[in-house]
Amino acid sequence: MYHFTLYLKGSFYIYMVASMDEAYINEIRKDFPILETKVREGVPLIYLDNAATTQKPRQVIDAISEYYLKYNANVHRGIHALSEIASEKYEDAHSKVAKFLNAKFSEIVFTKNTTEGLNLVAHGLRNLLSRGDEIVVTRMEHHSNLVPFQIVAKETGAVLKFIEMEDFEKLDLNSAEKVITDKTKLVSIPHMSNVLGTINPVKEIAQIAKEHDALMLVDGAQSVPHLKIDFKNLGIDFLSFSGHKMLAPMGIGGLVGREEVLANYEPLLYGGEMIRNVDYDIATWNDLPWKFEAGTPNVSGGIGLGVAVDYLQNIGMDKVHQIEYELTKYTLDRFEELDFVKVYGPDAEHRGGVVSFNVYNDSGQLIHPHDVSTLLDENGIAIRAGHHCAQPLMKSMHIPATNRISFYIYNTKAEVDRTIEVLKQIKDIFN
């Protein structure tokens, strides 16, 4: 039995817990209306697709509704009460994210998602590259952290190089030291793999990059929602993330960029809001971060992101990671009992709350992940099946796809047990 103390702060629950407790998780679950949903003719929902997107708490939903009900207006444009309230709330959201990630207000650029942030960096890189310069990424990239740099390399004559992996589990630091050279202009890596769950050594690789005067970009889509992130301490230049993977609505995310670097970077989009002065033949850009937020922004999404940050901070990111670690460790231990399941990636100590796996019948034949996912769905269990926007990695591993379970703060060990029970039934069906 675990002991915990409950504190109330506004509408949020803060717990101090010795270990994951079902009662503790059940209190969190009360904030997520969708988890009460019955799917497939009354079957209760088990949502294990959090790496794709997380569910939203009532606090975020209410904040978005309040914006549209009470002070819907454009920001930074109208000299009237609604616009002033909206502008204040929108800027306050930037401040919350800055504090959450230990960055400056001027370094927080709101984007649509991680992908837009990565493309913004790739776009600005064009002015820094010459033929023969190098861009370094890894063999475990999501397409969003690979394709933009493929395009930039082709357009500029730069060379795309790769940090290799050890046993398809973790990055090879010896490889990083070899491929990052004085010709390297940018190193871009995922903080946490969306397929393998691997938590990569960002600080160590950033140090190697700095030794060669290279910029360092981190794809934080899977890390910002799950780990305590200190932008300054990581020693990186850019960090991109998505709000919808951390309790916020879709269509909002952020790029954190060092002020000195962003000041010399060209915007991705041009138009209203991002300008300081415009004549018929010339324009100058606004201050940071507005220089990179052209046009009418996603005001409600930004406000929702700020409230999502409040929610996570009230729980505590150390506690978020603890919940996911215990779920991941429990899942990996349970999977070891199953001789028909193959798990990909490192042990629980070196991964986040992502478990990719495949299921085989007694003849050793792969049961296609789409079939597994479909049958799980018939039992109300939502997982991800496919290549997870990481086709090159799948080809390197010589598999067509995987099943992926991914956790967040409202998942339980009972949900893992039910999933394994259904996996056993699926294996029997395909025998």
Residues that are catalytic: 389
φ/ψ region of 168 (left if φ > 0, alpha if ψ in -120 to 50, else beta) reads: left
**DSSP β-bridge partners for residue 190:** 219
Type and span of the H or E element at 304: helix 299-315
DSSP state letters, 9-64: ETTEEEEEESS--HHHHHHHHTT-GGGG-EETTTEEPEE-BTTT-----HHHHHHH
Q: Are 186 and 345 in contact (CB under 8 A)?
A: no
CA triple 128-131-135, angle to 5 deg: 60
Structure-block tokens of residue 392: 């090159």
What contacts 86, CB < 8 A, 6 or more positions away?
67, 71, 72, 73, 74, 75, 299
**368: closest CA among 406, 332, 416, 403?**
403
Say how far apart CA 366 and CA 357 lie, in whole Å: 11
Beta-sheet pairing, 43-44 with 159-163: unpaired
Please tell me the total number of residues recorded for the chain in this structure.
431
Say how far apart CA 247 and CA 415 lie, in whole Å: 20
Say how far apart CA 346 and CA 380 lie, in whole Å: 28
